Chains A and B, each alone.
Chain A
Amino acid sequence: MKNPSSSSVKSRFTRRFLRALIKINRQKPSSSSSREIFLRYRRIRIAADKAMACVIGSRRAWSRAVLRRIKNQKRKRLADSLRRSNGIHGMKKMVAKEEDEISYEQENELRKLVPGVGAMDLCSMLDETAHYVMCLATQVQVMRKIVDFYST
């Protein structure tokens, strides 16, 4: 599977996220109460996840799952998807190599953390995880840069 270069992911994410931040910032509330700050935090968090998922688009299961989740947020499907992604019973794939075994519990743990991998076989899930980790780390890196810039 061809992956876009990570630097292009980074710049595309930056552009999208900044655009969203500007939009959010334009809706300046009359007060900066803690409730307003909380709502804004939520909006920013969703904007960040959405921006990264949009950059990747429908190419990956995790990005499709994130976009789905954001779309369905109001219908509180989040709880359902977590339940669904609790692994497939009976599909015990192990790397049998002395102590080097991947336990079912560990695989499950990872399935809960990576969006959209609930129904995947172990191989596909590991590949998806690597891509997700790369994008998530990029997202954090860019957000940190923005925070640093605003903080000076």
Chain B
Amino acid sequence: MSSRRSRSRQSGSSRITDDQIRDLVTKLQQLLPEIRERRPDKESAARVLQETCNYIRNLHREVDDLSERLSELLTTTDTAQAAIIRNLLMQ
């Protein structure tokens, strides 16, 4: 953090933006299972963004997979069970 403040290449207003970006990157890091445990100042913004991209791609793939499995399961399942599921998941 101190290294950024000592840099005088940017005006005051963009230093505030840098802080905002830093905060948002830290907030993002908290959501990433791979690196959320690591200390925020140890992770570079670049790394967090990289992990975010990987994580989103994985989640997209999972939604695809789970949709496929659901479509296979639905062909063999009774509709009445859906009501039971709803109750189960609402607890």
Q: Which residues of A contact B (CB under 8 A)?
A: 11, 14-15, 18, 21-22, 24-26, 28, 32, 36-38, 40-45, 48-49, 93, 95-103, 106-107, 109-110, 113-114, 122-123, 126-127, 129-130, 132-134, 136-137, 139-140, 142-147, 149-151
Whether B77 contacts A150 by the Cβ 8 Å rule is: yes
Chain A residues with Cβ under 8 A from B18's Cβ?
A: 95-97
Chain A residues with Cβ under 8 A from B62's Cβ?
A: 140, 143-144
Whether A106 contacts B22 by the Cβ 8 Å rule is: no
Whether B66 contacts A144 by the Cβ 8 Å rule is: yes
Whether B46 contacts A24 by the Cβ 8 Å rule is: no
A129 with B90, Cβ < 8 A, contacts A22-B82, A40-B75 known: no
CB distance from A52 to the nearest CB of B (A): 10
Q: Which residues of B contact A (CB under 8 A)?
A: 3-4, 7, 9-10, 17-18, 20-22, 24-25, 27-28, 31-32, 44-46, 49-50, 52-53, 55-57, 59-60, 62-64, 66-75, 77, 79, 81-82, 85-86, 88-90
